[in-house]
Amino acid sequence: MEQKYPHLCQPITLGKTVFRNRIFSAPMGGTDITADCCIGPKSTKFYELRAYGGAAAVTISECMVHPQTDGSHAYHLDLSVPGSLPSFTYTADAIRRHGAIPSVELSHSGQFSGTYLADKNKQHGLAQWGPSAGVRADGVKIGELTKEMIDDIVAAYGNTAALAKRAGFEMVMIHGGHGWLINQFLSPLFNHRTDEYGGSFENRVRFAQEVVKSVRNAVGPFFPIEFRMSGDEFVEGGYHLDEGIKIAQAVEEYVDLIHVSAGTYQKTFGITHPSWFEEHGRNVYLAAEIKKHVSKPVATIGGLNDPAMMEEIIASGKADVVEMARALLADPQLPNKIMENRDDEIVRCLRCFTCMAERANTFTRRCTVNPLIGREDEGLGEIAPAPVKRKVLVVGAGPGGLYAAYTAARRGHEVILCEADSEVGGLLRGESAIPFKYEMYQLALSYELFCKKAGVDIRLNTRVDRDYVLKENPDALIVAAGSIPAVPPIPGLRESDKMFVAEDYHLKKDSIGDNVVVLGGGLVGAELAACLGDEGKTVHIVEMRDALCPDANVRYRPLLMNKLNDVNVQIHTSCTCKKVDGGTVICEDADGKTIELKADSILCALGLKPKTDVVDSLRGLTPQFASIGNCVKPDTITYAVYQGYHAALDIH
């Protein structure tokens, strides 16, 4: 078979181990960690799914090598814990059985121990040790590691690597980036020592060299070692690319793959994990430059999800391996789809941070576009055929309706999907006009393609009422009728010819003036304000609450606030719109002061109302009935997709 992306599909040999392609699954924290810090059964399945999807290597994250000085509640590989070695062995087996190389990330979080604890207050009771004594930004005291402690930690890296090899892992990754302990020694931002581990570059790199030597001695000469590093910390007081090159050169003798990431803990989250405000592959240039100065293969990472871009990276010599984490949550089958020339079926990661926010909040995983994530123990994406084939009618082709129809068709049901408008997507159609959210629009097209390939009968421009349902006589009815914009009875708002609802932005984009007032500071209003600000328009947001987007996920909200600041959007919180007089928006702040804002365009982003009338009119017409998504309660794409998936699985 002639492969569309031959460089991505080409095997690579590290040490004496052959990896089936150039696509590696980067470290991702699992979905369950036992009380003894072992890999739980859900996590084993979580990692297995990446192997099943065709990745060449799957790295589990994170194995903390020295619990005595690192209190993070992450994985420990320790013979003193009864279930530790078996849990790693079962996980390595689960990855290897699908042809992927199992790898484990060896970590020490240093002064940031406790990062993975759900109860952050407990951090104050843990041991926090770093290169230098001090106090963290959150008030936690840091102790300076002694030479004896450093020696013990170095030995622990080797001992843990040896245990990983014993458990069946065929590669280890040493985490030397992102502000973790090795990076803390490398970085002048954290390292203020005056002994042989601080000061000059040669001293700051000493700990990293001792660690890689320890691991190499423990695993032998031909066992692959991957060293993960930040090519640039992107923070004042840290190191930059010139020293990143020197770090790579200092460790390359002992490793087989240099994994170039970026950034440092807490300060550059949106660079280490590029948001949709950043270009895809924004950190690739770091790997490309480092590769010019080392003899060992180099891996790159950072917002990659487009096979054409990844093929060019390998083909042009910018890197030898591409690594992904979030993209393989969105579509675990991405590598297989590339290998099989099915790249048109790839579901693109939205870079929305639902996955990371869920881990921070509940210590589980969830993905906006993939309802299987975190629930891999229910199956590796394969859906059992329904024992009885039913006729299923789905009303509404937004993300929830599309996924419901696709899932029902995969089970073997006869599925009709009706959409009142002329194209599928629902509210996702509006994202086509927002550059940084365009992949949300593409999501609808991907789901539509899946429906067509699964045999769904898609009927556009088709409004469903009681008579339509009775005529079709389905066995099951899934209503995903969506919502309508809420326009409150603010005097003059409805009458103003300058007002339009946020959901119509893609239709009105070309007629929007230079001065815009956005009513509503939820996600929809704030993101549209960011988009308009990017275009150079003067934008004001009026929000009656005391903060913008309080319900936004904890990983994404700070990045959105930074974006609004960067494009100089004017924010008026605790402020209520009282009246609209033509092109003047008259507001009142918390102190009762009147504020008048002149506007060429007024964007109403004041929420959505569920189409409960549609649900009520269709209820009771079929033996099986479900209502999902915004027609029940306006919520996120995540929940619409989840509800659609499970509504289809419930058909019996």
Per-residue pLDDT of 243-287, as tens digits, reads 999 999 999 999 999 999 999 987 999 999 999 999 999 999 999
Q: pLDDT class for 74, splitting at 50, 70, 90?
A: confident
pLDDT, average across residues 101-114: 94
pLDDT, average across residues 310-318: 98
pLDDT of 174-195, one tens digit each? 999 999 999 999 999 999 999 9
* Spatial distance between the Cα atoms of 405 and 392, rounded to a whole number of angstroms: 8
Same fold, 6-352 and 499-606: no
* Spatial distance between the Cα atoms of 119 and 134, rounded to a whole number of angstroms: 23
- The strand pairing partners of 587, in sequence order, are 577, 595
- Topology classification of domain 391-485+609-649: Rossmann fold (3.40.50)
Other CB atoms within 10 Å distance of the CB of residue 474: 22
pLDDT, average across residues 399-409: 98
Q: Which helix (H) or strand (E) holds 538?
A: strand 538-542
pLDDT of 522-580, one tens digit each? 999 999 999 999 999 999 999 999 999 998 999 999 999 999 999 999 999 999 999 99
What residue ranges do the domains of the chain occupy?
6-352, 391-485+609-649, 499-606
> Are residues 610 and 458 in contact, defined by beta-carbon separation less than 8 angstroms?
no
Instruction: Of 455, 384, 370, give the one whose Cα is nearest residue 417.
Output: 455
* Spatial distance between the Cα atoms of 505 and 358, rounded to a whole number of angstroms: 30
* Spatial distance between the Cα atoms of 108 and 182, rounded to a whole number of angstroms: 8
Report the DSSP pairing between strands 225-230 and 257-261.
parallel
- pLDDT of 123: 64
Q: pLDDT class for 362, splitting at 50, 70, 90?
A: confident
pLDDT, average across residues 110-130: 75
> Are residues 98 and 58 in contact, defined by beta-carbon separation less than 8 angstroms?
no
Q: May I ask the CATH architecture of the domain 6-352?
A: Alpha-Beta Barrel (3.20)
Q: What is the identity of the amino acid at 198?
A: G
> Are residues 356 and 373 in contact, defined by beta-carbon separation less than 8 angstroms?
no
Q: pLDDT class for 138, splitting at 50, 70, 90?
A: confident
Task: Collect all residues with Cβ–Cβ distance below 8 Å to 609 and sequence separation of at least 6.
Answer: 483, 484, 485, 486, 634
Q: pLDDT class for 116, splitting at 50, 70, 90?
A: low
pLDDT of 609-636, one tens digit each? 999 999 999 999 999 999 999 999 999 9
Residue 114 has pLDDT above 90, yes or no: no
The answer to pTM > 0.85 is yes
pLDDT of 567-603, one tens digit each? 999 999 999 999 999 899 999 999 999 999 999 999 9
Residue 112 has pLDDT above 70, yes or no: yes
| 499-606 homologous superfamily | FAD/NAD(P)-binding domain (3.50.50.60)
* Spatial distance between the Cα atoms of 396 and 462, rounded to a whole number of angstroms: 9
* Spatial distance between the Cα atoms of 488 and 496, rounded to a whole number of angstroms: 13
Burial of 612 (0-12, 13-18, 19+ CB in 10 A): middle
Q: Which of 281-295, 354-368, 421-435 has the least mean pLDDT? A: 354-368
pLDDT, average across residues 484-512: 95
pLDDT, average across residues 367-393: 91
Q: Which residue has the tokens 């700070």?
A: 558
- pLDDT of 122: 67
Q: pLDDT class for 430, splitting at 50, 70, 90?
A: very high
Q: Is 415 left (phi over 0), alpha (psi -120 to 50) or beta?
A: beta
Q: Which helix (H) or strand (E) holds 603?
A: strand 601-604
DSSP E strands: which ranges in 188-271?
Answer: 225-230, 257-261
